[in-house]
Amino acid sequence: MKKINAMLSRRSFMAALTASTLGIRTPFARSADHPSQKKAQIAITFDLEMSRQYPQRKILEWDFQKGNLNQETKDYSLKAAEIAKESGGTIHFFCVGRVLEQKNVSWLKKISKLGHPVGNHTYDHVNVWATQPQQTQFRFQRSPWLLGDKSTEQIIRQNIRMTTEAMKQRLEIVPDGFRTPGGSSDGLNQREDLQKMLLAEGFKWVSSKYPKHEYSRPKEEPTQDIFDSILEAQQAAQPYLYPTGLIEIPMSPISDVGAFRTSYWKLNHFLKSVELCIEQAIEQGGVFDFLCHPSIMYVEDPKFATIKLICDLVNQAGDRVEIVGLSDIAKRVSKNQH
């Protein structure tokens, strides 16, 4: 980690020096000329679901059983929550409703009692952008009788409502926000119907947008162009208000799915990307919404290096940045609109 920090520090210095010499205004140069007065906000988010290809490659069954968490995923989630808490941080969890069908949910109750928010992630991990009922989830393609004669809109709405009710009954909490399973580079911009549905279900904000960026080829070391593309997408991952009044809090690149499952990154590449994005967010007074899945991270980052790195970077930056839940980000967006 010291090697990565040193490399990033040199990169910052050289970028600013080159910009000064050539008259190019890089993010580093802008920070030096006009230091941001706006406090950056960093969110750590965990989607509680099983992931295809994990814990071993070629495993696809989890697409049909997203909420059937294994013990390793639950243990990792709780330990990460404890580590973040000890460092003064917060993790915002998003729970697939079927998780709450499991016999023991004491681990998730402990997470909630530690002060970490838990949001709604639909009951079956459904695709809210689907246009046909059986497109909403692999489970329904294999077992279409579960759909009955419900429309796509009814399936999605029921999935959201059941999760809210399950959280009330099993965890004795109400959902803190809503995240769509999967993300779209356009968020809900073209789906006013979904915006209104979420508002009607009591949600003030959604996390649905994931900006496009370049990926490295599988098993190839990411180039500087890849990191630059991620940083550019990070600037497009800033929260905003839909015309309906619903607030969008995008997921920031690169997720663990893209890094590890798609591109087969090594952990040090992932850590570098996270550090670059946090550094940029602090310099620009922006938001970084770190997205990961404990079902992936317990395999790729068993010693919690990413969580520790984020907390350390925030603590080192002092009052220029804070770790928050997504509702805190939404509150600032709402406040700025008035």
pLDDT for 338 equals 66
Query: What does pTM read for this prediction?
Result: 0.89
Angle between helices 2-22 and 267-284 (to 10 degrees): 50
Q: Which residue numbers in the chain have pLDDT < 50?
A: 1-36
Element (H or E) spanning 205, and its range? Answer: strand 205-209
pLDDT for 9 equals 47
Calculate ∠ Cα 274-304-327, nearest 5°.
Answer: 60
Both tokens assigned to 257: 């799915």
End-to-end CA distance of the chain: 42
**Torsions phi, psi for 286 (to 5 deg):** -100, -165
Instruction: Specify the amino acid at residue 19.
Output: A
Instruction: Specify the amino acid at residue 180.
Output: T
Whether 248 contacts 208, CB under 8 Å: yes
pLDDT for 229 equals 98
Residue with tokens 């429309």: 151
**Torsions phi, psi for 265 (to 5 deg):** -65, 155
In this structure, the number of other CB atoms found within 10 A of the CB of residue 30 comes to: 15
**Torsions phi, psi for 78 (to 5 deg):** -65, -45
Instruction: Specify the amino acid at residue 20.
Output: S
